[in-house]
Amino acid sequence: MTIVLFAAGAERWQEYEAPLRAALAEAGVAADLVQGAPPETVDFIVYAPGSPLQDFTPYGHCKAVLNLWAGVERIVGNATLTQPLCRMVDPGLSEGMTEYVLGHVVRHHLGMDRYILGAPGWEQTVPPLARERRVGMLGLGALGLTCIRALQGLNFDVAGWSRTAKPGLDFPAFHGEAGLEAVLSRSEIVVTLLPRTAETENLLDARRLGWLPHGAVIINPGRGALIDDAALLVALGAGRIGHATLDVFRVEPLPHDHPFRHHPKVTVTPHIAANTRATTAARVVAENVRRALAGEPLLYLVDRARGY
Ligand code: NAP
């Protein structure tokens, strides 16, 4: 019997137990899903950051740690973790992120805040069509690409940026520092869907924020550390950035006295852009358990050196 240890927090057990049991059975895996077991007997660990399990050393028999979250910055540097680590690419999570990104891009594209807040008078400012609106996507991974497809479905003029070159895409795709300047300088709305790594920390600093067109909008559902908070506040104050819609922060929950709170040009959402959905994520976990047992390559294996 394969032992699968659920170490993703006791508070998630109720939500995940039934979907995981069903998905493991569906995948044809005879597994015992447990919340506790002698470490040397554990074959797989289902994990989420914040779990009390921080020392992986005794789990010498474990074939893979399967993270329930897309972001792995809180576990990837754990020196005791020598087992393969897989991140979550969940169709349900991707759907949620697409809805969040689409909703906020359309909101800013149409200038909806002005009317929701009750603009006085009768000033008829007709927005351009989506095909005339340039949107930049920083990050062309599972989430960035899915969001781009949805934005293309509404005719937005999209471009993207990633770490490595991606030839053959049907939109302008850039990489490297020169590519970042190219994508930012054309983006009236920029969306950041990058992981937090040593390389992406403070990616949008004062200099690079200056590459955006005057009045550009930033939507950040990636990670808080991607943006230099102080530089963003200066750029917002000067009107160089028109608005920032932020879902993720360096410190969460965002402290009540943080300048982003109550800033007229900042929308704060409390890390709700996209949640892992138990039913769809359980199938991903089960598929990886099946693969590992069958000697097949794992899905969504994290590259420790890269950090994502
Ligand atoms: P992914 O599939 O690993 O894609 C990451 C993308 O970022 C890739 O395109 C990668 O480039 C690019 N990238 C990484 N480092 C880079 C660098 N130094 N310079 C340029 N590009 C770089 O990740 P994902 O599933 O799309 O998720 C992205 C992030 O979204 C997660 O890491 C997490 O932080 C965040 N997230 C947030 C929420 C929320 O609720 N707010 C929910 C889920 C995820 P290559 O393609 O060249 O490798």
Ligand 1 pocket test target in 88, 95, 162, 164 with most atoms within 8 Å of CB: 162
Q: Which helix (H) or strand (E) holds 217?
A: strand 216-220
2-90+276-294, which class in CATH? alpha beta
Active-site residue set: 223, 271
* Residue 179 beta carbon below 6 angstroms from any ligand 1 atom: no
Query: What pTM value is reported for the model?
Result: 0.97
Nearest-angstrom CA–CA distance, 118 and 103:
20
Closest CA to 273 of 52, 37, 36, 104: 104
Q: What is the number of other CB atoms lying within 10 angstroms of the CB of residue 117?
A: 8
| Residue tagged 């009750």 (tokens) | 118
In the numeric block, which tokens belong to residue 3?
């032992």
245, 247, 250, 253: CA torsion to nearest 10 = 120
Tens of pLDDT along the chain (308 residues) come to: 999 999 999 999 999 999 999 999 999 999 999 999 999 999 999 999 989 999 999 999 999 999 999 999 999 999 999 999 999 999 999 999 999 999 999 999 999 999 998 878 898 889 999 999 999 999 999 999 999 999 999 999 999 999 999 999 999 999 999 999 999 999 999 999 999 999 999 999 999 999 999 999 999 999 999 999 999 999 999 999 999 999 999 999 999 999 999 999 999 999 999 999 999 999 999 999 999 999 999 999 999 999 99
Nearest-angstrom CA–CA distance, 124 and 146:
34
Fold match, 2-90+276-294 / 91-268: yes
- Residue whose CA is at the smallest distance from ligand 1 atom 25: 142
Please tell me the total number of residues recorded for the chain in this structure: 308
91-268, which class in CATH? alpha beta
Nearest-angstrom CA–CA distance, 237 and 172:
31
Nearest ligand 1 atom, CA 162 = 21
The structural domains of the chain, with segments of one domain joined by +, span: 2-90+276-294, 91-268
Cβ partners under 8 Å of residue 301, min gap 6: 84, 85, 86
Distance 37 CA to ligand 1 centre (A): 33
Answer whether 228's CB lies under 8 Å from 253's CB.
no
